[in-house]
Structure 1
Amino acid sequence: MTIGTKVAPFSLKPWFSERVWGKSDLKPWYEETGTTELVGEAWLTGPQCLVESGPYTGQTLASVAEKMGGEFPLLVKILFPADKLSVQVHPDDAQATAMGETRGKTECWYVLEAEPGATVALGLKPGVGAKEVAASVESGTMELLLEHVPVSVGDMLFVDAGTVHAIGPGVVLLETQQTSDVTYRLYDYGRPRELHLEKGLQVIRPKTQAGKVASRKMDGFTRLIEQKYFVVDRFDVASADEVTVAFDGAGCLVGLAGRGVVITGEGQLEIAPGKAVVVPVGNASVIVETGSGVSFTRCVAPV
C-alpha cells in the first residue's frame, strides 16, 4: 500500500535486533549497534526505525505511515548470522489470515558476503512432507531433510511462503520481504526457545518455487528479482556520474558500497552502505549522484 502522495523521500536509522545466533561486531557495515548483546538483524525499514531527515525526523516509520493512511509494504533487513538460525517456515496470506495474523511472509535473500563453501537450506528433499518433518524434530535429524544450496556473493534466492528454510554462518544477506514477522520455528538445534510445530506443519508445502533467481540486465540497472510482493534491482553508478531512479510503487534505496547523494524535490539525502532511503509514493523518481562511485539496490512493492 502506498503511504501517501505528499511525503517526500526520507532516510531511516537502522534498528538492530538482538538474536542468539547473531554477532557482536557488524563491521564494516556498522561501526556500532548501541548494544553489547549479539545482533542478528539490522532492520532498515522496520516499523520502529526512526526517520532521520525531513519534517518527520525522530518519528517511527510506522507512525509516519499511519499519518498518511497506510503502511510501508516492505520490510528490508541485513542478516548477520554467526550461528545457525532455526529451521522455520512462514504462512502465505490466506493461511496467516486464517490464523489471526495480518498477512503472510514471502521473502528473498541477496547474498552480500559469503565464505567459501557457504550454503543455505531451502526447501525439503523430494518425498519429504509434514509427517517426516515432525518425526525428524523428535529425532534431532531435521537438517538431513533439507536441500542445502551453495551460495556466492551476488546470488539472489526466492523464498516463497510455505518453504522450510534455514540460514547458517558464513553469509551476510539482504532480505526483502512482506512487512510481517510471522515465523513458525520448527527446529532449533536444542536451544531453549519456543517451537511452533503445530502451526508450522500446517503451512509447510513440500514443493515450492524457492531457489536461485537469474539476474537480468536492464536499461541502466540489473533486475535481481521480480515477484508479486517485491521487485529488487541493483544499480552500480560510476564515479562522477548520476542516474535517475524511478519508483512504480512505494519502496526504498539501500546502499551497498560507496557513497552518493539522493536528490529529491525537497533536498538531498546521503546514501551509504547499510542505510535506507524511503520513497513512500509510487509514480516518483529520484536522482542519485556520486563522486567516487556507489552501488545500491532499489526495493519496490509493485502497485
Structure 2
Amino acid sequence: MSSGRLEIKTVEKVWGMDNLPAPFTRDDQSARIGEIWFQPSTAMTELLVKYLFTNEKLSVQVHPNGEASPTGCGKEECWLILDAQPGAKLAVGFVREVSADEMRAAALDDTIEDLLHWREVRTGDFFYIPAGTVHALGAGLTLLEVQENTDITYRLYDYGRPRELHLDEGLAVSKGQPYPDDLSQTVPSDQEILLVDGPQFTLAQVIGQPSQDIESRFAGPVQVMPLSGSVMIGDSMIEPGQSALADTLRDVAFQENARTMIARPS
C-alpha cells in the first residue's frame, strides 16, 4: 500500500448547506452541499469517511447488514457531532417496540416521526448506528461519519420530497426497537478514546501521539482525519478537512496536542 492524501468528492443534497463551516468554506454557493467524501483508495476500500452538513432534515431511513444487502456488503456507521446549532436533533430507534405493520402505516400516514426517538444533540455527542437501526438527522448539524463503504440506503419517509421510497426493502431489515443507550456517548475533545472496536471497523480519537494500547489495536493500514492541529505522512502535511492513508501508525507524525480521528477496517 502507498500512503497519501485522499481525494475529496463534494456531494450536493437537497438538505445540504449553502455556506459550509470552516475549514470547508467555498466561493461558489450555487449548490447545496450535503456531504464531503474522502474517496477510498484501492489500498483500503472497506471504509468510507464523510463530513455531513444538514440544513434540513434527512429522510427517515435504514441500512441493511451484509446478509440482507443485495451486494453482500452492509452499512454500519457512526457519527461524531462536530457542531450543532441550538435545538438541533437527530433520531435513532423508536420510543417503544414497533411492529412492521405499524411502521408501514406510520410511514404512509406521515406519523412515523412521532414514533422515532428524537434527541437534542451537542458538539461531541457520538452515536454508533448498527445496520437495521431506523434513523434520521435533523437540521443544523455538522458531523463526521465513518461507515462501511456501501451506499445502500432504504428511505422509509421523506417529508413529501419527490424522491423514491423503499418501504418493502426497508421494512424487511428494520429493527422496530428503542436504540440502546450504551451505543452513544459524549466524547471529550482533549482525551484519547477508543470509540468503535469492530465488528466492521475500529475508530479512535487520539490527542497527539497515540498510546501503546491504541497502537496495538491499529496494526496495519490506517486512515487519519485531523480535527485540530495536523499530522505528517512522509512529506505531506494533513490538516483539518483532509484525510490520508498510512501504511501503519508509525508512519504518521502527530503534532503535539493535535486531535485526530484514526480508523481501520476490522
Coarse TM-score class (shorter-chain normalised): 0.7 to 0.9
Alignment partner of 2:144 out of 171, 174, 177 = 174
Q: Equivalences for 1:14-29 in 2 at 5 Å?
A: 14-29=8-23
Q: What's 2:170 paired with? A: 200
* 2:2 aligned partner: 8
* Residue 295 (structure 1) aligns with: 259
How much has 1:299 moved relative to structure 2?
Answer: 1.2
CA contact (8 A) 1:261 1:270 kept: yes
Question: What is the CA-CA distance between 1:92 and the residue it aligns to?
Answer: 0.6
Moved over 6 A (4+): none
Task: Describe how 1:139-158 pairs up with structure 2 within 5 A.
Answer: 139-158=109-128
* Structure 1 residue identity aligned to 2:261: T
Q: Is the 8 A contact 2:23 2:240 kept in 1?
A: yes
Q: Measure how far apart 1:234 and its partner are.
A: 1.1
TM-score by length of 1: 0.78
Alpha-carbon deviations, 1:205-232, whole Å to 9, x = none? 1237655434799xx8222222311221
What's the C-alpha RMSD, in Å, of the aligned pairs? 2.4
**Equivalent-residue separation in structure 1 for 2:60 and 2:115 (angstroms):** 11
Q: Retained in 2: the 8 A contact 1:72–1:250? A: no
Deviations 1:134-186 (A, max 9, x none): 11122111100101123221121010000000001122111111011000011
Q: Please show how residues 108-119 of structure 1 align to structure 2 within 5 Å.
A: 108-119=78-89
Which residue identity does 2:260 align to in structure 1? F
Decide which of 59, 76, 84 is 2:57's aligned counterpart.
Answer: 84
Which structure 2 residue ranges, 5 or more long, are not aligned? none
Aligned to 1:54: none
Specify the alignment match of 2:196 in structure 1: 225
SS in 2 for 1:192: coil
What is the deviation of 1:35?
6.9
Q: Secondary structure at the match of 2:96?
A: coil
1:137 to 107, 117, 134: 107
For residues 27 and 72 of structure 2, the distance between their equivalents in structure 1, rounded to whole angstroms, comes to 30
- CA–CA separation in structure 1 for the residues paired with 2:186 and 2:114: 30
Residue 238 of structure 2 is matched in structure 1 by 271
In structure 1, the residue corresponding to 2:10 is in which secondary structure?
strand
Alpha-carbon offset, residue 188 of structure 1: 0.2
Q: Number of aligned pairs?
A: 259
Structure 1 position 252 matched with structure 2 position 223: yes
Query: 5 Å matches for 1:31-180?
Result: 31-32=25-26, 36-44=30-38, 46-47=39-40, 61=41, 65=42, 71-96=44-69, 100-180=70-150
Does 174-183 or 146-155 show the bigger shift?
Answer: 146-155
Matched position secondary structure for 1:252: strand
TM value normalised by structure 2: 0.88
2:177 counterpart letter in structure 1: K
Q: Does 1:30 align with 2:35?
A: no
% identical equivalent positions: 35
2:125–2:187 Cα contact (<8 Å) kept: no
Deviation at 1:270, TM superposition (A): 1.2
8 Å contact from structure 1 (residues 19, 41) kept in 2:
yes
1:248: how far off?
2.1
Letter in 2 for 1:82: N
CA distance in 1, matches of 2:132, 2:117: 14
User: Residue 158 of structure 1 contacts residue 209 of structure 1 at CA under 8 Å; is this kept in 2?
Assistant: no
Q: Deviations over 1:98-137 (max 9, x none)?
A: xx32311010101111123322100122121211111112
Q: Deviation digits for residues 232-279 of structure 1, max 9, x if unmatched?
A: 111223xxxx56884324331002123x2324xxx2221211111112
What is the one-letter code of the residue matched to 1:39? I
Q: Go from structure 1 to structure 2 and tell me whether the alpha carbon gap of 1:181 and 1:145 turns closer, same or farther (over 3 Å shift).
A: same
